[in-house]
Amino acid sequence: MCNASIRSWVLRLMRCLSLGLACFIGTSVITPSLAHADDWGCQVILCLSNPGGPEQYAECVPPVEKLWRALRHGDPLPTCDFGAGGSQGTAASNIFASVAYCREDLLYWGGPEKSELLCGARGAINVEIDGQLYTRVWWDADGEDRTITEFYGAGSTGAPYDPTQSARLFLERMERQEGGENGEGGGG
């Protein structure tokens, strides 16, 4: 069921991309000075929407590596014009990570004297399909080139969460742990 749903979505996206590319080529023949041949944004969105991670397939490695370099330099996430038929409700957005927007398991104490709460990722790219969160890809996780892909499409077992609440949840968990340690160790 899950694979059929993903396959169906990929086929729809590929049809839209093919239609858009055909329109683009037709337009570039008529008005060559206005057209620019760059489908990088469409490649990136397709690769980022892969539940197995954006670089699972060899064809995705070059455009995604180019994306990471661009984002590290502060460039915006590329866009994709889906053409005439479009793909309504399909978009991707990059949010630079911070304590205010992070996965709870990427939060850690750092800075001087380990007194500052920090996020161990550079950013997160949210991919929406049909207006619903489909994947979230945390990039440069743990200060490395590592990514973490969260899949929320059909067949996923995880429910989307709000990364703006992670710091609060992290601090509450820390308080509970400290309270438990103080209560257990006091009777010795």
- In whole angstroms, give the CA distance from residue 77 to residue 47: 13
What mean pLDDT comes out for the span 1-20?
A: 46
Query: Which pLDDT tens digit goes with each residue over 163-181?
Result: 999 999 999 999 999 887 6
Is residue 130 within 8 Å of residue 90, measured between CB atoms? yes
pLDDT level of residue 125 (50, 70, 90 thresholds): very high
SS (H, E, C) 100-129: CECCHHHEEEECHHHCEEEECCCEEEEEEE
pLDDT level of residue 26 (50, 70, 90 thresholds): very low
What mean pLDDT comes out for the span 123-131?
A: 94
Give the strand pairing for 123-129 and 91-96.
Answer: antiparallel
Q: Which of 26, 48, 45 is nearest to 35 (CA)?
A: 26
Query: Which pLDDT tens digit goes with each residue over 27-78?
Result: 333 333 333 335 899 999 999 999 999 999 999 999 999 999 999 999 999 9
- In whole angstroms, give the CA distance from residue 160 to residue 135: 9
The answer to pTM > 0.85 is no
Q: What is the pLDDT of residue 143?
A: 72
Is residue 86 within 8 Å of residue 130, measured between CB atoms? no
Is residue 81 within 8 Å of residue 20, measured between CB atoms? yes
Q: Is it the case that residue 4 has pLDDT exceeding 80?
A: no
Q: What is the pLDDT of residue 86?
A: 62
pLDDT level of residue 9 (50, 70, 90 thresholds): very low
